[in-house]
Each structure stands twice: as C-alpha cells, then as structure tokens.
Amino acid sequence: MSLLLEARNVSKSYGVFRALENVNMTVSENELVSVVGPNGAGKTTLVNLFTGLLSPTSGEVLFMGKSIAGVGPVVLADRGMARAFQLIQIFPKLTVAETIAAAVVSQQKKRWRLVSQLSSDLRISERVREVAEIFGLDHRLNTVAASLSQGEKKLLDVASAFALDPQVILFDEPTSGVSTSDKHAIMKTLIAAGKIAGVKGIVLVEHDMDLVAAYSSRIIALAGGRVLADLPPDRFFSDPHLIDTVIGKRKGH
C-alpha cells in the first residue's frame, strides 16, 4: 500500500498552549482512518494541519510525499486532497446543480462566471449530473439546497468535495445532525461513492462510535494533543480502559 498522508512528530502550539504534541499518523491507500477523542483532544487542529490551513510548530505534514504545511485548501485540492465543507450553509440559495457546478468549475480551473451561464458549458453539466447520480441527487438538481432534507444536505456537501476529484478526502463528522436511522445509509453512500470516484484514502473525524466501529480500517485516538492509540477496530474496542479514557461515557454519541 502506498503512503498518501503522513504526520511526522507534529506539534502545534498557540502561545503557551500546546494543542498537539509529537503526533505521528499515516493514511495509506485503501484505508479509512478514523480520528477520535474528547473535545479539546486536538482533532480540529490536526484536521486544519492536514488541510493546509495551519503549519505545524514543529514536525512535518506530508501529502503524497510533499509538505503541505500552510498551503491552504485551494492548492491542496489541486494536488488531490479535499475536505468536505458545509457549502450549503454558505450558499443556501444555490440549487443542487449550482452547488456541485461551483466545485466542478474550480476543479477544471475555469474562470468563475455567473452561475446562470454554467449550464451552457456541456462539459460542466455532464460532470454535475455524473456527481449527482453517484450520490442519488440527480432528481434534485433544480432544488434549492436550503430546502433539502438534512441527510440530502450532508450528501450535497460531500458531493461538492468529490467533484474536486480528490485522491484523499477528509470527512469531519459527516453525519452530524442526521437521524440515527439515516447515518449508516449516508456512510455507505460516501464509501461507495469514493470507490466509484477513485478516492484512494479517507480520513474520518467522528464522535459516533457505531460508525467508527463499522467502517474504520484503523482508529487513531487523541487525548490532550497526544496519540494514545493507533489500532484496528477489533483491538481498539476490546480495550475498555482506552475507550473510557478517550470517549468517556459518550460512546455512541
């Protein structure tokens, strides 16, 4: 398996506060690596390092063998890594087609034009429909994003990230706010869509331990900015002390 994403002895400080300390982590091809831990564990800082929003105070963050320290999400998307952002909260009045098209235009490095003109570009339209079909949103192309169900909104957020043709995609609690009955359906859709789209690796930041147990290749547990464990699911969940330390009484939430 080829190495896609790596943190080498990464530390991040904000003044005297040390958010991460000597963190080592890898994501290889065909892996779904979950990052778990209580609030304040350093998960958000790690995500921001992996998406080029921050530079480490010390250590290296590498994507496909090259440093991505502080390069920013736009440059990183060009290199082949995307983070699922909640675009519909930023542009709630755009339709499903327009939301996906904005990402497609970015990926195809075309200059931004008025949304009303996008439909005239056949290549963009075809790609928009293709991405929408993968996520079961092709019947909602003309629907305004704000009026979608919560589950559909989550799928649209991720569809926009997939439209960037990433090799690695980072999901930050992709099913938050979604009913328990819909969570597994959404996760299965995301993973299946990843395979169709040629995504090589997935990083999942998640509180829901049912999802972590069901879909992870490995689980990396953070607490106090340090890595407590890097284990396959069966070994992680067979250690009650580890679960209590990392999750406390929040298992399943």
**pLDDT of 252:** 40
Q: Is the pLDDT of residue 110 over 60?
A: no
Asked if 1-78+168-173+201-253 and 81-165 have one fold, the answer is yes
Q: Which CATH superfamily is domain 81-165 in?
A: P-loop containing nucleotide triphosphate hydrolases (3.40.50.300)
Indicate the CATH number of 1-78+168-173+201-253 among 3.40.50.300, 3.10.20.30, 2.40.30.10, 3.90.1640.30: 3.40.50.300
Report the alpha-carbon distance of residue 226 to residue 12 in Å, rounded.
11
Count CA atoms within 13 Å of residue 85 on its CB side: 16
pLDDT digits (tens, 9 = 90+) for 125-170: 888 999 999 899 999 999 999 999 888 888 898 888 888 888 999 9
Distance of alpha carbon 135 from the chain centroid: 16
Mean local confidence (pLDDT), 84-88: 65
pLDDT digits (tens, 9 = 90+) for 36-67: 998 889 998 998 999 888 999 999 999 999 99
**pLDDT of 86:** 59
Beta-sheet strand order (sheet of 58-63): 17-28, 3-14, 58-63, 66-67
Question: What residue segments make up the domains of the chain, in order of their start?
Answer: 1-78+168-173+201-253, 81-165
